[in-house]
Structure 1
Amino acid sequence: MGGLGMTVDVEDSGLARKGDSRDHTQAVPWSQAAPLKPVRGIGEFFALALDILVAMFKPPLAWRELLDQALFIARVSLLPALMLSIPYVVISVFELNVLIMEFGAADFSGTGAALAAVNQIGPFVTVLVVAGAGASAMCADLGARTIREELDAMRVMGIDPVQALLVPRVLAATVVALLLSSLVTLTGLTGGFFFAVFFQHVAAGSYVASMTLITGLWDVVVSMVKATLFGLTAGLIACYQGTSVTRGPAAVGNAVNETVVFSFVFLFVINLVVTAIGFELKK
């Protein structure tokens, strides 16, 4: 960097000339190497994601590992997801009813509850819990295996870590997110129903009848697509962060934190894109 003379060693990544017998480790100015790090990380993530997606369709599938991971993610995610879904929907119903009661339209409170729970709250709460509990645990497990060089040992024995470890974890996160989203939506709607009927004195029949007023089968399909993409993305991020740990135990904690943060960022991006596409296709 200018007169400081700071340099960083960058390993050969295809930039060195082929056939060059000299050491491919080059001294590159820090100011040139630093901007390449995030770009390289993005490329490595998509390369690993492509390998995992391709390996999903190659037999054999590690069914035992898939079942173990699915049960683990469900065990750590089920109760928090259900506990979060009820207050989210109840708050939405309460705020909506305060507004519509001013216009004498309390009978339509079920409409807003169904729209919020199916389109947003169900998938949203699911990915928060799956990313915060399930994906972070997967990242920590893979990170510990990586620094103990277990993945390298598997490669030496002729076992593909992607096929044996990563594919089952990504599939487990995807399946659990899809199933958990449906359960969270039903739980939230049930909690919203009891709150609206017993605390805000909304007619039970009117609440149930208005739930399908503007929320239909298409909204349920879009919600399931969201949950599937959320779980798939969280699983891919956890696998990449866990297998890219290189600096010892301290880096595992950093990878876990990055897994949660990146999953939440992708959550908002995917939610925005899928919601917009679903709204346009519904017209």
Structure 2
Amino acid sequence: MAKPILPARALDSVGHLFALGLDTLRAAFRRPFSAKETLQQFWFVVSVSWVPAVLISIPLGAVIALQLGTLTKQIGAQSMTGAASVLAVVQQAAPMVTTLVIAGAGGAAICAEIGSRKIRDEIDAMKVMGLDPVQRIVVPRVVACVVAAVLLNGLVSVVGVLGGYFFNVVLQGGTPGAYLSSFTALAQISDLWIGEIKAIVFGFLAGVVASYRGLNTAPGPKGVGDSVNQSVVITFLLLFFVNFVLTALYLTIVPMKGA
């Protein structure tokens, strides 16, 4: 039997990934819920992700503040640097950085673990015993990624904003009062909500993609390695696309403060 052509295989993979996401959502509300496994996975994801996320957020917030500070100074709007840099960090940078780190560290480990179970036929053995692999394996890891993304997003936002504030005030001679007042004048609570919503969606995507590639690992150690690489790349591509969609919807639906 001939193999399906590449576009057909790609559409088939997208369909199976979407189906796994729906199955995960349904299984998350069924009993029994593996609370202990979820807590263990959450601790693991946070332990391998929080240090890289913080270290990345400091220079990222600084670069955003320095670049925007230079541009606003050229057009005579330096007092708006605080609002522009803080909103950029909270709405865009923090959710993306958080989930990219989670996908590259925690997601890769999750994919490798599930892939190893797959090639040892543990997944098939669970099905034979009447256990649902999605409920027992996928759900705890996806929930752990979502909760970790939400919490780390708040941490990365705070560190990124402080980094931008420090470099703008110290290196560019900005005024601390102007930096803070411009932010409070233009920011609104929905700007914080969209950052957390993105973190929830991105964390869910990272967990589902890692689990999907693990469950569909080819036989052998090479198959596990290929699945890990594919899970990271696919997650990165999906994050940038979904981030564009969510940002476009937010800017369309929610009016800017003062508009």
Query: TM-score by structure 1 length?
Result: 0.86
- Of 217, 221, 229, 2:193 maps to 221
Is the deviation greater in 227-236 or in 34-43?
34-43
C-alpha deviation, 1:264, in angstroms: 0.7
Percent identity, aligned pairs only? 41
Q: Does 1:49 align with 2:35?
A: no
Q: Which amino acid aligns with 1:220?
A: L
Instruction: Report 1:177-196 matches (<5 A).
Output: 177-196=149-168
For residues 7 and 200 of structure 2, the distance between their equivalents in structure 1, rounded to whole angstroms, comes to: 33
For residues 139 and 130 of structure 2, the distance between their equivalents in structure 1, rounded to whole angstroms, comes to: 17
Aligned to 2:109: 137
Aligned to 1:208: 180
Aligned to 1:238: 210
C-alpha deviation, 1:97, in angstroms: 1.1
Q: Which amino acid aligns with 1:98?
A: T
8 A Cα contact 1:130 1:177, kept in partner: yes
For residues 33 and 189 of structure 1, the distance between their equivalents in structure 2, rounded to whole angstroms, comes to: 48
Aligned to 1:167: 139
- Of 235, 242, 246, 1:270 maps to 242
| Equivalent pairs, count | 255
Instruction: Report 1:28-39 matches (<5 A).
Output: 28=2, 30=3, 35-39=7-11
Higher relative contact order (CA 8 A, sep 6+): 2
Which structure: greater helix fraction?
A: 2
Query: TM-score by structure 2 length?
Result: 0.94
Q: Which amino acid aligns with 2:133?
A: P
Aligned to 1:88: 60
Q: Which amino acid aligns with 1:93?
A: A
C-alpha deviation, 1:213, in angstroms: 2.5
Q: CA-to-partner distance for each residue in 1:204-248, whole Å, 9 max, x for gaps?
A: 111111112322111111111111100001110001000111321
Max Rg structure: 1
Aligned to 2:148: 176
Aligned to 1:109: 81
8 A Cα contact 1:73 1:176, kept in partner: yes
Is the deviation greater in 172-181 or in 36-45?
36-45
Q: What SS is found at the alignment partner of 1:245? A: coil
Aligned to 1:199: 171
Q: Which amino acid aligns with 1:108?
A: M
User: Which segments of 5 or more consecutive residues in structure 2 lack a partner in the other structure?
Assistant: none
Q: Which amino acid aligns with 1:44?
A: H
User: Which segments of 5 or more consecutive residues in structure 1 lack a partner in the other structure?
Assistant: 1-26
Aligned to 1:247: 219
